[in-house]
Amino acid sequence: MRKLVTLTVLVSALGGAAGTGTAQAEERKKALSSDWACIHRYEGAWNANTGNGYYGGLQMDWNFMRAYGREFLRRWGTADRWPVYAQVIAAERARRTRGYWPWPNTARICGLL
């Protein structure tokens, strides 16, 4: 049930982006999955900035943000200030090349590694 609630929150955060026809909307739609909802559940609040060098609900460091969310970093600053959809898009970009390895512990807990 908790996974479904978190996924519902993500869908709401995307603001109905699916079906708008833009490339970014399609990327948002693909990025949304219960995998990210599970990882987020163990990583912290979407606006997390605990001073440990990791930001947002998927705990991104500076190198990660520059590599996978450069346009979001430029627009909003660190990931704790990004909309949820932007955090998920950056994470999905990383997953395409690196798998779930940036989140080794939570990915194991979620059964992804």
pLDDT in tens, 62-92: 999 999 999 999 999 999 999 999 999 999 9
Find, among 67, 73, 111, 75, the residue nearest to 93 by Cα: 67
State the pTM of this model. 0.74
If DSSP codes are grouped into helix, strand and coil, which group holds residue 55? strand
- Alpha carbons 43 and 105: distance in angstroms, whole number: 10
pLDDT in tens, 17-37: 444 467 766 655 654 578 999
pLDDT at 15 > cutoff 70: no
Residue of higher predicted confidence among 58 and 10: 58
What's the CATH number for 23-109? Answer: 1.10.530.10
The residue extents of the domains of the chain are: 23-109
